Chain A
Amino acid sequence: MTLTTQPVKTPPAARVRRIGRAAAFAPSWWFAVPALLVYAGVVLYPSIVGVFYAFTDWSGIGEGKSFVGLANFRAILGDEQVMGSLGNTLLLTVVILVVQNGVGLLLALGVHAKLKSRALLRVIFFAPVVVSPVMVAFLWKYVYTPDPSAGLNGLLGLNIDWLGDPSVALWSIAGMVVWQYAGYSMVIFLAGLEGVPKELHEAAMIDGAGTLQRFRYVTWPLLAPALTINLMLSTIGGLKLFDQVFAATNGGPGYATETLSTVLYKQAFVYGKFGYSTAIALVLALFVAAVSLVQVYYLRSREVAQ
């Protein structure tokens, strides 16, 4: 169904003279106004004010907001809890990024094959995505019970305090996030796989390429756009991770699973340090922005090269 581009018939002459032919059919700017107003009110304005708050010592009570320059940021550098949470956040993000996308890709390759059960398998692997992360966290709190006869321990015959042992807890959090969102990565990879032309595989097969070679030289390069989106989504999601940690461990034991998001929540709503909390949020925002910029730049250039 191709609409050949007939030169557009002349609209009312006066109008054309006024705004020119190309713009004649472009909708006017007020189409964007309702969306912009809500977005500006809910996101832009508060974020800009937030940047200012990050340089104050506001405690959340009364009008007392005095400008303290970079004091909050200097305090962050010396704050073990925040620096620890920064490390945790980065580690969590990297682990989730690698494992979630690795598992997602394997699942996608599995359910992309001509299996009888593939429709059902897709539904099963994807289902956790639609459930509230807080509820998933509560479910996994039981899966991770230290009781050796119940949960994962009972199933595998282990005796691990998944969420209570500081050296294990962060990995356990990563495990449940991966369980919830591996299906999300799978679906995006699946869309990518379905876009790979069959002819390319057949041609490669005729040339004598084995399964692994076909994956390496045919499928993998063509999955680049899906990979870009997956990596970006899991990075942003990992850096902002809050609900799962809040519900499963609330940052504990000690500070073992504290993330930037849980720390800044506590600084604001437990300790009433609104200025300091917003400074941490600004650090988080800069991290997210920097990482996404690098990813967009690097991954897009990689896509174009193919």
Chain B
Amino acid sequence: MKSRTFLLEIVMIAVAVAFLFPVYALVTLSLKSPDQISQTPLSLPNPPTTANFTEAWSAAALGPSLINSTVITVASLVALIAFGSFAAYFLARTATRLGYGLYILFLLGIVLPFQLGMIPLYELVSDLGLIGTHAGMIIFYTGVQMPFTIFLYTGFIRALPREYASAAQIDGASHLTAFTKVVFPLLRPITGTVLILNAVFIWNDFFTPLLYLGGSGFETIPVSVFAFVGQYVSDYGLVFAGLVLGALPIVAVFLVLQKYVIKGFSSGLKG
């Protein structure tokens, strides 16, 4: 039994090493000069250079993009959590036909491809003058991720005893107070999951900001990196330094929170 576990460990580590090959290429190439890349593409950088990083940072204008991505992601998350938990509380507790119909209507949004509404939405956003604005993106993400958020919250609230809130209401609290003071704090585990899943999606989304923010000066990280890569396409060292810098914030957050992230992903989806 012991030796079998040991053998499995060796196999799994070998798999992990193979799995990491693209990451190895990413990091080593970003630390190499163009000469090293063409002459010794697979070896370790010798000597390593950080020139690619300084150049990529300024050429890709990652500083401003970092701020744009952060503003859009944080504001969308706040709206998603506030509106989503609020709506889910009604949907989970009501026994009316209206409530059930609404729940199904929300779930529809998980399956519906966004491309179906892509062009009408583009018209709407541009009619409202929201192209190239943070507000437009925040409203977009709040709407698009609402079904998934409500799905997660509703499942969790259904499993929660009703008595906490009704006790508060007997003591004279309104629905609103009972929710904010009693129910919402109980939702902490699922709020964590909602936060993580939506943060990863919004931070990494590429297509929508390309469409709505492209050329506005308010681009998010994936769009800036995309434009940067297009510009320096043949210079792998520089491009990869840009990729490392672009992915670093979310990967760093992941590494710090990895325990909760992995747990949140699985338990949240398991419902």
Q: For B15, what are the chain A residues with a Cβ–Cβ distance below 8 Å? A: 107, 110
Closest 3 CB pairs of A and B: A42-B143, A46-B117, A191-B266
Interface contacts beyond A36-B106, A121-B12: sample of 16 additional A-B pairs, CB < 8 Å, sorted by A: A11-B170, A29-B90, A34-B83, A41-B124, A42-B117, A42-B140, A43-B114, A43-B143, A50-B116, A117-B16, A133-B204, A147-B41, A155-B21, A179-B19, A240-B113, A261-B115
A146 nearest CB across to chain B (Å): 13
Interface extent on A, as a size class?
Answer: 35 or more
Residue in contact with B270 in the complex, picked from A36, A225, A240, CB distance below 8 Å: A225
Q: Name the residue among A28, A38, A129, A274 with the largest chain B CB count within 10 angstroms.
A: A38
Q: In this assembly, does A22 line the interface, its C-beta being within 8 Å of a C-beta of chain B?
A: yes
Interface extent on B, as a size class?
Answer: 35 or more
Q: Are B84 and A35 in contact (CB under 8 A)?
A: yes
Q: For B105, what are the chain A residues with a Cβ–Cβ distance below 8 Å? A: 44
Residue in contact with B225 in the complex, picked from A40, A118, A135, CB distance below 8 Å: A135
Q: Are A43 and B16 in contact (CB under 8 A)?
A: no
Q: For B26, what are the chain A residues with a Cβ–Cβ distance below 8 Å? A: 139
Instruction: Specify the main secondary structure of chain A where it touches its partner.
Output: helix
- Beta-carbon contacts under 8 Å, B225-266 to A: 225-226, 229, 236, 239-240, 243, 246-247, 250-251, 254-255, 258, 261-262, 265-266
Q: In this assembly, does A3 line the interface, its C-beta being within 8 Å of a C-beta of chain B?
A: yes
Q: Are A8 and B166 in contact (CB under 8 A)?
A: yes
Q: Are A132 and B90 in contact (CB under 8 A)?
A: no
30 contacts between A and B (CB under 8 A): A8-B163, A27-B179, A29-B90, A31-B90, A32-B91, A32-B99, A38-B83, A39-B147, A43-B109, A46-B116, A46-B119, A47-B116, A47-B120, A53-B119, A107-B15, A113-B5, A115-B9, A117-B9, A131-B250, A132-B225, A132-B250, A133-B204, A134-B225, A139-B240, A179-B22, A236-B111, A239-B113, A268-B119, A278-B116, A289-B112
Q: Are A188 and B116 in contact (CB under 8 A)?
A: no
B256 nearest CB across to chain A (Å): 11
Q: Name the residue among A132, A264, A265, A285 with the largest chain B CB count within 10 angstroms.
A: A132
Q: For B110, what are the chain A residues with a Cβ–Cβ distance below 8 Å? A: 236
Instruction: Specify the main secondary structure of chain B where it touches its partner.
Output: helix
Residue in contact with B9 in the complex, picked from A23, A116, A134, A274, CB distance below 8 Å: A116
Q: Are A138 and B243 in contact (CB under 8 A)?
A: yes
Distance in angstroms between the alpha carbons of A127 and B166 in the assembled complex: 42
Q: Are A264 and B115 in contact (CB under 8 A)?
A: yes
Distance in angstroms between the alpha carbons of A156 and B162 in the assembled complex: 60
* CB within 8 Å for A132 and B5 given contacts A49-B117, A151-B41, A225-B270: no
Using a CB–CB distance below 8 Å, which chain A residues touch chain B? 3, 5-6, 8-9, 11, 22-23, 25-29, 31-36, 38-51, 53, 60, 107, 110-111, 113-118, 121-127, 129-135, 138-140, 142-143, 147, 149-152, 154-155, 179, 184, 187-188, 190-192, 225-226, 229, 233, 236, 239-240, 242-243, 246-247, 261, 264-265, 268, 274, 277-278, 281-282, 284-285, 288-289, 292
B189 nearest CB across to chain A (Å): 14
B260 nearest CB across to chain A (Å): 12
